[in-house]
């Protein structure tokens, strides 16, 4: 699968995107496209272009949601609100294109209930896949400044594991979980150091689900 990612909130011309996508799909062992973008970067023309590939290729659009709370989105300078995601997801779904949402656990000032509200609202939307990320501190960022001033505290590993399990319980079983934590670059990471041990985190999530006798979707709709 060829993966494309956009960080700009401006639309790329459809003809430019088509040229890029066609070039990638011309490679013999490429079977589809996965386009990672912001929900405010999509318009009808781009969705029509992606829809045109569906007969012959697997197509996913990955939208960075991060949180359903507009205050959190403003605090991390996302540049769009939750309704932008809702509109993009519904328009993408109407064209039969697979949707993967990205969320971040541990955003500043978000409580456990805030995080679970993101899960509940996400569960009501036409989302086919989900990638869950830990908020970690990267060198040279405003978050590093807050962390150094002790104005932001990273999640502990146990707390993150518990939140992931809480989140999964509220996500419908039909949703494909594509990621349970991120992959920080060691040379860029400030904190938390435990985030580098992805294997251990995944093992703890499995063990916690088993200990709780719970599973993805157990509390979906409730």
| pLDDT for position 12 | 74
How far is the C-alpha of 192 from the C-alpha of 137, rounded, in Å?
A: 7
For 182-218, the DSSP string reads: ----TTTEEE-GGGG-HHHHHHHHHHHHHHHT--TTT
How far is the C-alpha of 45 from the C-alpha of 141, rounded, in Å?
A: 35
Structure tokens given for 131? 């990638």
b (16+ CB within 10 A) / e for 23-60 = ebeeeeeeebbbbbbbbbbbeeebbeebeebeeebebb
Mean pLDDT of 201-218: 98
Is the pLDDT assigned to residue 11 strictly greater than 70? no
Give pLDDT tens digits for 53-111: 999 999 999 999 999 999 999 999 999 999 999 999 999 999 999 999 999 999 999 99
Give pLDDT tens digits for 134-181: 999 999 999 999 999 999 999 999 999 999 999 999 999 999 999 999
| pLDDT for position 1 | 67
Higher pLDDT, 28 or 118: 118
Give pLDDT tens digits for 34-45: 999 999 999 999
Mean pLDDT of 120-135: 98
The structure's pTM equals: 0.93
Weakest-pLDDT range from 8-12, 170-174, 195-199, 212-216? 8-12
The mean predicted confidence, pLDDT, of the chain is: 95
* Residue percentage of the chain with pLDDT more than 70: 95
């Amino acid at each position: 699968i060829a993966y494309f990612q956009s960080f700009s909130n401006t639309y790329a011309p459809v003809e430019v995107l088509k040229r890029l996508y066609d070039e990638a799909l011309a490679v013999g062992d490429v079977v589809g496209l996965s386009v990672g973008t912001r929900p405010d970067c999509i318009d009808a023309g781009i969705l029509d272009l992606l829809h045109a590939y569906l007969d012959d290729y697997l197509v996913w659009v990955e939208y960075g949601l991060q949180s359903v709370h507009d205050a959190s989105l403003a605090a991390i300078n996302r540049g769009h609100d939750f309704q932008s995601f809702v509109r993009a997801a519904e328009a993408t779904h109407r064209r039969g294109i697979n949707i993967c949402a990205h969320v971040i656990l541990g955003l500043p000032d978000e409580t456990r209930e805030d995080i679970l509200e993101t899960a509940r609202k996400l569960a009501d939307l036409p989302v086919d896949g989900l990638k869950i990320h830990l908020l970690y501190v990267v060198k040279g960022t405003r978050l590093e400044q807050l962390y150094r001033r002790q104005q932001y505290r990273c999640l502990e590993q146990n707390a993150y594991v518990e939140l992931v399990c809480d989140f999964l319980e509220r996500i419908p079983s039909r949703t494909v979980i594509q990621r349970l934590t991120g992959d920080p670059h060691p040379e860029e990471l400030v904190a938390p150091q435990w985030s580098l041990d992805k294997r251990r985190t995944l093992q703890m999530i499995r063990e916690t689900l088993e200990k709780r006798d719970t599973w993805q979707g157990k509390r979906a709709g409730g």
